[in-house]
A and B are shown apart, each in its own frame.
Chain A
Amino acid sequence: MTETMTYREALAFAAAKEMDADPTVFVFGLDVPDHKRIFGSTKGLVEKFGSDRCFGTPLSEDAMTGVAIGAALSGLRPVHVHIRADFLLLGMNQIANVMSSLRYMSGGALRMPLVIRAVIGRGWGQGAQHSKSMHGLFGHFPGIKVSLPTSPQDAYSMLRAAIRDDNPVILLEHRWLYDIEGSVDEQYLPPLPGPVMVRQGTEVTVACTSWMTIEAMKAADVLARHGVRLEVIDIRTVAPLDETPVVSSVAKTGRCIIADYDWLYAGFSAELAARLAHRCFGLFKKPIERIGFAPVPCPTTRPLENLFYPSAVQIIRAVERLLDLDSIDLSQESFYSYEERFKGPF
């Protein structure tokens, strides 16, 4: 059955489905059962499944991450929720030293069916400590799956796949995606899905993560009116990474922009660029372009925030470089429209 719903609703719907199907699934974390329900993404769970299966915690991310691991090792399927990805750093010992490696060190004897959901913040002064994504950092540790769902269907299918997965999965959900509405087919239940082509084109491949997919689609709309067709690929799962769909696209276009929702230095964009340089050697008509955060901590004031974050404008300018086009007049276009809509606080 297909229904129209928002991203936040799709997350709550997916959790309820898995909790219904499997009594070992439980959802916990700071603020999970309060009236705001993590921006609505845990709505209805405590009413339907009770406080044994949906509960809040003390402020103890390090311990609670360990608790989730211990519960997962004991046959439960915890979903540990964080209202900001930045707070995962307090659980980093458990994530990087334990969650990533325990199964490996047990010679394959242990299983860790554990999901960590975390929200990526942006805008209206979130600042340096409420805006990180860190998918590249988490993906760096072998043994952790890392995904960034973009559409409501992704939110639904990827959360369900993550819960069913016997490996630890970190899902990073951009705050601005929560309001996006789309159709969700509740029967669509693939294993944790990788890259998907969200727009077909011929001239330039744009490989993107999370919110950058929205920016790339905007850039593609603008460029289409100027006769340029972008092929947009949403990576969705950065670890383990299947870059083959991007390789196939580059074989067609010979030009690639990697638009990552993160800093560039030693980040996911560097990893993908390295793989493409290797696998597409000789296919490129121009060097790979990378787009990401400015190499500074995220500032709070709007004018600097706008310069810090990559946008459709940078994608368009990169396309011009790749195709040797004259600078397109963008004065009649509206960008940063979501910045105007999001009024905080978080």
Chain B
Amino acid sequence: MNKGEGLRLYRTLTLIRRAEEAIRLHYGDDDMKTPVHLSIGQEAIPVGVCHVLPEGSPMFGTYRNHALYLALTEDTDRFFAELHGKEVGMGRGKAGSMHLCEPSRGLLATSAVVATTIPLAVGAALAQAYRHLRQPVAVFFGDGAAEEGVFWESLNFACQRSLNLLFVCEDNGLAIHAPAADRRGFSSITHAVRGFRCCTATADGSDLSAIIEATRALYRDMEAGKQPGLLHVSYFRFLEHVGIGEDFSVGYRQAPSDQERRERDPLIRFSSHLLSLGYHPAELRAIDVEVDDQIRGSIARARSADYPPAEALYEDLWV
């Protein structure tokens, strides 16, 4: 990682975190009428994977897509406009938080129905093979999605066809409030997929450098073995499943200690890493300030933007 790269990665991570902190701050005004599944704790996964894969690689995600969307686009204008339901939002107010996409940057689809985009990514990888291209495709999904039949059907087909597809399981050990042990008849996903002809790797979701390293190695294996890959990344979901609050008090899981909070926070981890490499605190602070400016501007523009006109209801249905 050269210096410029380190600062760019720091900027992307910070942009995602500060954008979501801004959502938390302003949500109570009720101008963003859309259920938000925040990514605090998870940011490093898409940032790391998107950093490794070639630019423009087709990507798919879930309703917990803010980090993926911002990692690929860094476009807080269209992001906040969409959360505010405005005409200039990325989906003209028809997507909301749960369906963000940006085809021009490779993000083809996300979905509010769990596991839905996994086979779409297989189809995108099939299209690559069909055209004799080798651009990789990536799909991000939660640990709960691996319980759906469609995950196994998709994995099987991708392996049988040796597709150039990276499955990224973002494992927070929870599906809403249900812990993995209440849902799984297997101990780990990487273990469970062992019989399939695919490469696997694991990484700690709070460590951006580790994610980048694991993705690189896995991608090399995939290229060498002409096999799909499964990257399993565990992370800590700091907030409630949907919404802006913490919910440690309701009893289904324990609050982390202060030390755990620091250890599981990808932004804290990555900034200390950079500082230990000799980056100057002022360089990072300058990025923080610049990012906050960008977000403040985006929110102000989103607020004053127009809602879509009535005709928009019927537009965009047919080509």
A interface residue numbers (CB < 8 A to B): 30-31, 34-36, 56-63, 86-87, 89-90, 124-130, 294-297, 299-304, 307-308, 343-346
Are B98 and A127 within 8 A (Cβ)? yes
Q: Smallest Cβ distance from A131 to chain B, in angstroms?
A: 10
Counting residue pairs across A and B whose Cβ atoms lie within 8 Å, the total is 128
Closest to B97 in A: A125
7 closest A-B pairs by CB: A301-B85, A301-B93, A300-B96, A345-B35, A125-B34, A58-B147, A34-B177
Interface string of B91-113 (1 = CB under 8 A from A): 10111111100000000000111
Question: Could you give 16 example pairs across A and B, Cβ below 8 Å?
Answer: A30-B175, A56-B183, A59-B148, A60-B147, A62-B149, A86-B113, A124-B35, A128-B94, A130-B112, A294-B314, A296-B317, A300-B85, A301-B93, A302-B307, A303-B85, A307-B310
Which B residues touch A301, using CB under 8 A? 33, 85-86, 89, 93-94, 96, 307-308
The answer to whether A303 touches B35 (Cβ under 8 A) is no
Q: B53-88, CB under 8 A of A: which get 1 and which 0?
A: 000000000000000000000000000000001100
A300 interface neighbour in B95, B111, B251, Cβ under 8 Å: B95
| Contact (Cβ within 8 A) B113 A31 | no
Bound form: Cα–Cα A124–B175 in Å: 22
Which chain B residue shows the least CB distance to A83?
A: B176
Apart from A60-B149, A124-B35, A129-B111: 8 A-B pairs, beta carbons within 8 A? A34-B176, A35-B250, A36-B177, A59-B114, A90-B148, A124-B34, A125-B34, A303-B85
**Closest approach, in angstroms, between the C-beta of B21 and any C-beta of chain A?**
18
| Whole-angstrom CA separation of A209 from B94 in the bound complex | 26
Q: Given the known inter-chain contacts A63-B149, A127-B98, A300-B85, please indicate yes or no for A343 contacting B30, CB distance below 8 A.
A: yes
A344 and B184 form a contact (CB under 8 A): no
Main secondary structure of the interface of A (DSSP, over half): loop
> Closest CB of chain B to A125's CB: distance in Å?
4
Q: Which residue on chain A has the smallest CB distance to residue B85?
A: A301
Q: How far does the alpha carbon of A296 sit from the alpha carbon of B97 in the complex, in Å?
A: 19
| B243 interface hit (Cβ, 8 Å) | yes
Pick from A90, A294, A304 the residue with the most CB of B within 10 Å: A304
Residue B313 lies at the interface, judged by CB distance under 8 Å to chain A: yes
Q: Which among A35, A60, A127, A308 is the interface contact of B112 at CB below 8 angstroms? A: A127
Which residues in B have their C-beta under 8 angstroms from that of A58?
Answer: 144, 147, 183-184
The one of B86, B182, B242, B250 in contact with A56, judged by C-beta atoms closer than 8 angstroms, is B182
Smallest distance from the beta carbon of A192 to chain B beta carbons, Å? 29
Q: Is B312 on the interface with A (CB-CB < 8 A)? A: yes
